[in-house]
Amino acid sequence: MKINPKTFEGFNRVLTGVVVPRPIAFVSTISNSGNVNLSPYSFFNAVSYDPPLIIFSSSKFTSDGKLKDSLSNIEQNGEFVVNIVNENIVEAMNTTAAEYPEDVNEFDVANLTQIDSDLVKPPRLSESPVNMECKLERIITLGTEAHPQGLV
């Protein structure tokens, strides 16, 4: 089957359906005013080990045109934590995929436990088997998406 991404309606579903398996980056951030955010991102990967860099992809805006909280928080303070999702927290992760107001803490919504990070301000997810504390290296903008790249 041949598909032209520019003309095929719903190409994003094709792309996400054929690039598998996809690890989930459960990204925790914090705003300068102290609002904590926890959001899942399915386009995520390690891109370098020297230096250790990871990247995830996010649409830039919410359905009402506001900059996504995760991106806003990362732009504000240059830090984030990538928490790896395992099967024990998949259902809780799914509850955080909805759009919530900026002052809603998704850790609380999903009944998950936030713990202090060692090197960055955003909290880690206690239930996650792996937490990668990241300092922002750069944000690459392509079209309507932003790709924060973090130094682990």
Whether residue 15 is contained in a domain is answered as no
Q: What is the pTM of this model?
A: 0.88
Instruction: Please count the CA atoms within 13 angstroms of the CA of 85 that sit on its side-chain side.
Output: 22
**Which strand (E) or helix (H) includes residue 134?**
strand 131-142
The Cβ of residue 72 has, within 10 Å, a number of other Cβ atoms equal to 17
Per-residue pLDDT of the chain (152 residues; tens, 9 = 90+): 777 877 878 777 777 677 667 788 999 999 999 999 999 998 899 999 999 999 998 887 767 777 789 999 999 999 999 999 999 999 999 999 998 999 999 999 999 999 999 999 999 999 999 999 999 999 999 988 899 999 99
Whether residue 8 is contained in a domain is answered as no
Whether residue 20 is contained in a domain is answered as no
Q: What's the CA gap between 74 and 41, in Å, rounded? A: 14
Whether residue 142 is contained in a domain is answered as yes
Whether residue 9 is contained in a domain is answered as no
Whether residue 12 is contained in a domain is answered as no
Q: Which residue has the tokens 């955010």?
A: 37
Whether residue 127 is contained in a domain is answered as yes
Q: Residue 38 belongs to what domain range?
A: 25-151
Question: Domain count of the chain?
Answer: 1
pLDDT at 4: 81
Whether 41 and 58 have beta carbons less than 8 Å apart is answered as yes
Whether residue 135 is contained in a domain is answered as yes
Q: What's the CA gap between 71 and 148, in Å, rounded? A: 8
CATH number at residue 134: 2.30.110.10
Three-state secondary structure call for residue 14: helix
Three-state secondary structure call for residue 28: strand
pLDDT at 94: 95
pLDDT at 130: 96
**Which strand (E) or helix (H) includes residue 76?**
helix 69-77
Closest CA to 122 of 25, 26, 30: 30
Q: What's the CA gap between 7 and 89, in Å, rounded? A: 37
